Structure 1
Amino acid sequence: MTAPHIVDPERLLREAIGEASPDLLRHLLQTVINALLSADADAVCGAEYGTASDTRTAQRNGYRHRPLDTRAGTIDVAIPKLRAGTYFPEWLLERRKRAESALITVVADCYLAGVSTRRMDKLVRQLGIDSLSKSQVSRMAAELDEHIDAFRHRPLGDAGPFVFLAADALTMKVREGGRVINAVAMVATGVNADGRREVLGLRVATTESGAAWNEFFADLVARGLHGVRLVTSDSGLVHV
């Protein structure tokens, strides 16, 4: 199943994942941006960092750090420095809004449908960077996948108990096997004893069935969900 093409992934990520962990989106943006800066600087140098090559034209020489304000908060950007010449990431510093939108969208897309080299390559080209190798793009995809996988499977026990649980599903269209079909994004939001709200899980399924919800809730319980006293959904209230 590929990523939803009708649901706005940027909005969905900012609303759902932003509530789940205010630092998550900022952290993922910082990870991707700094990985892109490093890979882009390697391309300017003609060889990857720490690699001896006859094609090398310049050497890396540390970083200069600068804050970058985004909708997800201020992030620490590490811009590579060169021993001779300069490296200036025009795609980020002069076209920040466009770059930020593309980066948030690809992070949301990767969260919903999984990270792939193809998605990362598409992002790189959207930003106007066409000099990265397949191995560089593949490493960035793997690094982003590692962070997203850790969040999706994070333990819930320490943050709980979650006394209240809200379950909802958003119907959307996805492209699968060359055709468009209906699917649902199931979202579970919990409120703990301190009144703090947190998105506990988000999963895309082909249909909103009892079996799909049971599987979704079983995963939440396996990750440590406990102490639930009241579950709400768009079909009413369920006391537990």
Structure 2
Amino acid sequence: MPNSHEVQLNSAGSSIHGATLEAVIFDLDGVVADSHPIHEAAWKTLLVEQGIDSASLNLDFLYAGHPRREILRHYLGSIELSEMERLGRRKDDLYAIARNKLHAKPGILRVLSQLNADGILCALATSAGRVRAHESLEHFGITKHFSVIVTGEEPGAPKPAPDIFLLAAVRMGVKARQCVVVEDSVAGVLAARAAGMRCAGYAPSARLFELAEAGANDLISDFPDDATRHFKDLVGATESQQAAPRASAPQPRG
């Protein structure tokens, strides 16, 4: 069943907003892949290797959707490009060691299958590199469900710039207002809204508040039972219909 924090939308929405759903664009980490625990462990090991005390290490910055270079600068300060590249390779190695623990997010195969069956295009738009993105989808056996895959190696600015989502829409041959983006990071939500797309913020309940603050039109902790109907309603709903439920979003923890 849909989560209690899920935004309730008008089922007649498409006529209100004047748009119809043609495509759903998914982020990879935290949306398609349950990869955050592996990433967090890899980053923690890397940062401890660089002399940071694990007891005082706050990893919240990892979940904001920043590119790798910004994460390294946040925790380590100004570093040379060559050192940044070396540390990036080390982080990739640490992630690869635990890759056998990688699982798909619950319900994602069902949602992709529903959307495909209903004629809705699906795309992946991720800041991850091309190899890791494709390997993850192949590992889950879901590559065939995506008509377009856009990675962080494509030209353009990273999230929160809208480039990656706009490129996905162009490659699918659809308009931005006909798309819904499913994102779990603040940068991703900001990028989706900057692209002129409706955004479903998808995260554990404790993190929904920050996605609402970033401008997510919809808040879910679990994928809806009828994904096609839910995302169609999201495209059609007015901003006022979406904004009202935000007051009931969970408050941030101290």
Bigger fraction of residues in helix? 2
TM-score above 0.5, yes or no: no
TM-score by length of structure 1 reads 0.32
* Higher RCO structure, 1 or 2 (CA under 8 Å, sep 6+): 2
